[in-house]
């Protein structure tokens, strides 16, 4: 018995003194030495729209036969039989604003590959102007309306509301706040943003992944269209529907099929502007309520840059009362007037944008 105990002790010592240190050494090898080519910087990158930056690449092995610089899954540059250090110019704004992956894919003579990756965030090169929402007139608003969408069409005010069992689409008399015509959603649906394009009124739902399509005059439901993800705000540019989902991303969709045509990520010079909610489109710009704030972002629809930021604190103080957050912005093209309200507010305001005095 003592013999077996002695053998066990000896084996344990061998493991402790020889094998464990060997394993530890192997684990201590820096990750860079295992990758054939690496970026000359360790952290992720932040750059601005249309800014060219200089990348340094380290070749760590002599038998690299091909090196590819890949950005957003596209090969931007290729080197054959590279060696030493490489310096190259790179413009991350090629795919617009947002966060994307930058990779180095190296291939050795024996066909094996290795990959080094970084994230690149492209910020806007525009510092947004500050505008103030100044109240011009006040109108009654139904305090039971949990406003999710607000839009004028042919001088008629339309409103879409939320909350399960309370969601409706309505034509509203601006002067009295009366809902002159309305249709309710099934109690299983939480209504969201609305917009009118041609003869159709479109209404999103929050988590139910359906867009309801109505005749704008009769408000009769014509069909529903499925989509993936959450629905928040909705507007249109006369051609495409433009949809928010509570992130910084806006999605342009075909109004017939609801298929995605393109997307933009909304950024300021500081970073992404998330929680984009109710939307309006006017004068070739997108106006987006930023949920849980008193602000509206004014966005370039071509690239997602925030050009201006509207402070609507004045409206909160004058109209919120016991209601919920600011939400609802509409432009009446017939009168060239802007209107804003909030969820369960008792007032709707005609407003104009002014710049603060210095």
Give the pLDDT confidence of 39-86 residue by residue, as tens digits.
998 889 899 998 998 999 999 988 999 999 999 989 999 999 998 889
pLDDT attached to residue 358: 63
Write out pLDDT tens, residues 128-169: 999 999 999 999 999 999 999 999 999 999 999 999 999 999
Query: 143: helix, coil or strand?
Result: coil
- CA distances to 177, 227, 295, 347, 355 from 139, in Å: 7, 36, 21, 6, 24
Q: Do 50 and 91 contact (CB within 8 A), yes or no?
A: yes
Quick one: pLDDT at residue 41? 87
CATH of domain 129-354: 2.120.10.30
Predicted TM-score of the model (pTM): 0.86
Helix (H) or strand (E) holding 317: helix 313-319
Q: Which residue has the higher pLDDT, 320 or 197?
A: 197
- pLDDT tens by residue, 338-353: 999 999 999 999 999 9
Strands across the sheet containing 98-108: 45-48, 113-123, 98-108, 64-71, 74-80
SS3 call for 169: strand
Q: Residue 306 has which token pair? A: 């925030």
- C-beta of residue 214 within 8 angstroms of C-beta of residue 169: yes
Which residue intervals of the chain bear CATH 2.60.40.10?
Answer: 35-123
Fold of 35-123: Immunoglobulin-like (2.60.40)
Percentage of residues in the chain with pLDDT exceeding 90?
82
Start-end ranges of CATH 2.120.10.30 in the chain? 129-354
What pLDDT score was predicted for residue 3?
A: 42
What is the CB neighbour count within 10 angstroms for residue 344?
21
According to DSSP, the residues that pair with 116 across neighbouring strands are 104
Output the CA torsion sign for 247, 249, 252, 257.
Answer: negative
């Amino acid at each position: 018995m003592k013999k077996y105990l002695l053998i066990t002790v000896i084996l344990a010592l061998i493991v402790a003194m020889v094998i464990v240190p060997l394993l530890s050494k192997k684990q201590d090898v820096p990750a860079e030495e295992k990758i054939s080519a690496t970026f000359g910087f360790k952290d992720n990158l932040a750059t601005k729209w249309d800014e060219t930056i200089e990348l340094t690449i380290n070749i760590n092995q002599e038998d690299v036969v091909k090196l590819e610089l890949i950005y957003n899954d596209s090969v931007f540059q290729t080197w054959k039989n590279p060696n030493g250090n490489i310096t190259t110019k790179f413009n991350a704004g090629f795919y617009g604003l947002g966060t994307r992956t930058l990779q180095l894919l190296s291939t050795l003579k024996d066909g094996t590959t290795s990959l080094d990756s970084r994230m690149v965030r492209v910020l806007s090169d525009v510092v947004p102007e500050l505008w103030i929402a100044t109240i011009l007139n006040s109108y009654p608003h139904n305090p039971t309306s949990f406003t999710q969408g607000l839009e004028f069409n042919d001088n008629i005010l339309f409103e879409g509301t939320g909350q399960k069992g309370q969601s409706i689409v309505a034509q509203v008399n601006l002067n009295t706040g009366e809902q002159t015509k309305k249709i309710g959603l099934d109690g299983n649906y939480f209504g969201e943003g609305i917009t009118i394009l041609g003869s159709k009124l479109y209404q999103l739902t929050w988590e139910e992944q359906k867009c309801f399509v109505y005749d704008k005059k009769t408000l009769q439901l014509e069909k529903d269209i499925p989509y993936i993800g959450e629905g928040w705000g909705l507007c249109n540019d006369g051609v495409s529907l433009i949809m928010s989902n509570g992130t910084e991303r806006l999605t342009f969709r075909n109004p017939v099929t609801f298929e995605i045509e393109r997307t933009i990520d909304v950024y300021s010079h500081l970073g992404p502007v998330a929680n984009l909610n109710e939307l309006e489109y006017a004068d070739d710009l997108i106006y987006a309520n930023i949920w849980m704030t008193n602000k509206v972002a004014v966005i370039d629809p071509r690239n997602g840059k925030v050009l201006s930021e509207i402070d609507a604190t004045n409206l909160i103080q004058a109209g919120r009362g016991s209601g919920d957050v600011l939400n609802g912005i509409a432009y009446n093209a017939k009168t060239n007037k802007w209107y804003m309200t909030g969820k369960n507010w008792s007032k709707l305001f005609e407003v104009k944008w002014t710049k603060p005095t210095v």
